[in-house]
Amino acid sequence: MERPLIIIVGSTGVGKSVHAMAIAKERSGEVINADSQQVYRGCDIGTGKVPAALRQEIPHHCLDLVDPDQSFDVAQYVAAADAAIAEVSARGKQPIICGGTGLYLTALVYGLAPLPPADRVLRAELAALMGHEGSGALHRRLAEVDPEAAAQINPRHTSRLIRALEVKRLTGRSITEWHSAHRFGTPRYRADWTCLMRPREELYERIDRRVETMLNAGWLEEVRTMLSRYGPVIAPLRAIGYRELVRHLKGERDLPATIALIKQNTRRYAKRQLTWFRRMPDIQWIQA
C-alpha cells in the first residue's frame, strides 16, 4: 500500500465516526472499524455503530463480523482489518481506521506480541478458581504479579484476567512486560495518527447525552433481546452499559440508578482510553 493509513482515535463520545466520515468524503476513503464491540452482530445501539443508511454512502468494514456468542480476539481482528485494507487500497481508495480500542490499533500497526498459545489445563484451573471465589480473586492475584495490567482490566472481564495470569504462569513475564517490549517496534503499516480531544466537561456532557440518546433509541430492548437469545455470559454483555442494563433487567438496580452508573463508568473508560493513546508515538492531538 503506497499511501499511509489514516487512523482516527479518541475517547468514546468524542466524535470519531463523524470525523472519519468527513475525511472519507474529502479523501475518497472508506472506514475500517477498530472498536472491539462493533464486531458483534446485533450490538448496534449501545456501541454507537454508524447507521446502515450512512454506511451506504461511506462504506464501512470490520463491522458485524461474528455473532454475540462467538469468540473473537485481537488476532482475528488484525486478519480482518488486513483484508479490508488490502481490498480498499486495491480499489484506489484511502483506508481510514476509526475506533477507540487501543489493543486492536497497536496490534494492527505494530503486530502482535509473540505470546504463548492458550493452555487448556491452566485455563481450567483458573476458571475453577473463579467459580469458587469469583472474578475478584483472579483480579487480586493479577494485581500481585502485574499491577499495571490489573489497573487496566475490569474485574468482570474474566477472559482477559485469565489470559494475563496464564501468560505470567507460562512465561514468567507479565503480559505488560511482553506488550511493552513489543510495542512500537517496526510498524507493519505507515500510518498518520490523529487523536480527537474535547475539554473534559464538554466530553462528559456529550457522553451523558449519548447514553440518553441510545436509551431513547431502544438500547434496553436491544439488551433484552440479546439476553433472551444468548444468555448473560456472552462477551458483549460484559461491556460498559450492556452489563449495567443486564443487572437492571435482573431487578438488581432501578433504571435511574442504572443510567447514572452507565454514565459514570463510561466517563471513567474515556479517561483510560486517553491514557492509552498518550503512549503512542508521533500522534497528532487535535480539538474535535
Model confidence pLDDT, tens digit, residues 80-108 = 999 999 999 999 999 999 999 988 998 99
pLDDT of residue 71: 84
pLDDT of residue 69: 92
Model confidence pLDDT, tens digit, residues 241-285 = 999 999 999 999 999 999 999 999 999 999 989 988 888 888 999
Q: What is the 3-state secondary structure (H, E, C) of the chain?
A: CCCCEEEEEECCCCCHHHHHHHHHHHHCEEEEECCCCCCECCCCCCCCCCCHHHHHHCCEECCCCECCCCCCCHHHHHHHHHHHHHHHHHCCCEEEEECCCHHHHHHHHHCCCCCCCCCHHHHHHHHHHHHHHCHHHHHHHHHHHCHHHHHHCCCCCHHHHHHHHHHHHHHCCCHHHHHHHHCCCCCCCCEEEEEEECCHHHHHHHHHHHHHHHHHCCHHHHHHHHHHHHCCCCHHHHCCCHHHHHHHHCCCCCHHHHHHHHHHHHHHHHHHHHHHHCCCCCEEEEEC
pLDDT at 120 over 60: yes
Model confidence pLDDT, tens digit, residues 14-48 = 999 999 999 999 999 999 999 999 999 999 999 99
Structural domains of the chain ordered from first start:
5-113+188-198+274-287 (3.40.50.300), 120-180 (1.10.20.140), 200-271 (1.10.287.890)
Mean pLDDT of the chain: 92
